[in-house]
Structure 1
């Protein structure tokens, strides 16, 4: 069975993060999005050092949706080159893993091996 996957990305504001997150939940590409406002960023972009205010977002999904999720996120994202980092999950509480898998289209029990225990 598949493992949970966390995806880290950033958005210019909470409204865009929540709107895109809701669309991805409705499409069952993610089970949840956590939006963390108030982040300040310093980054290099096209040869210049930039400063900005953003929100961080953590999306909860599963490994089998990684590519489809990236495509859907890029298609909706307001940034030209959004940060999309797949963070594999080494282990998860069985109930948490089962919820993520169920909400993204895979129901059923999750074994200890599947959840990394």
Structure 2
């Protein structure tokens, strides 16, 4: 498949419960067609000038290119983190059947 048939976003949460709640909300609102909840992962970062190390849950969010901006904007509003990392990962190839399923999932009424 050509580039930009699907888009992949990535973010993290403090718990499985938060990741699941937000993922379900995004699917119900038809902003994404699938979420993969990963974890636990170890995160190391500085926060308020202090070195932090914590366990988090990573989430891949699959959507359509035309829904990326709306999904990011909505996710920023509902994400429990003060400054969440919400990243778009470029997709160069995806199988056609998956792309069709994703589009149909988000366009279904």
- TM-score, normalised by the number of residues in structure 1: 0.85
Q: Which runs of 5+ in 1 are unaligned?
A: 107-117
**2:16 aligns to what?**
14
Say which SS state the counterpart of residue 107 (structure 2) adopts: coil
| Paired residues, number | 106
Q: Which segments of structure 1 move beyond 3 Å, counting only runs of 4 or more?
A: none
Asked if 2 retains the 8 angstrom alpha-carbon contact of 1:38 and 1:55, the reply is yes
Distance 1:16 1:50 in 2: 20
RCO higher in structure (CA 8 A, sep ≥6): 2
Q: Which runs of 5+ in 2 are unaligned?
A: none
1:105 aligns with 2:100: no
- TM-score, normalised by the number of residues in structure 2: 0.91
Q: CA deviation at 1:88?
A: 2.1
**2:85 aligns to what?**
83
CA RMSD of aligned residues (A): 1.6
Say which SS state the counterpart of residue 23 (structure 1) adopts: helix
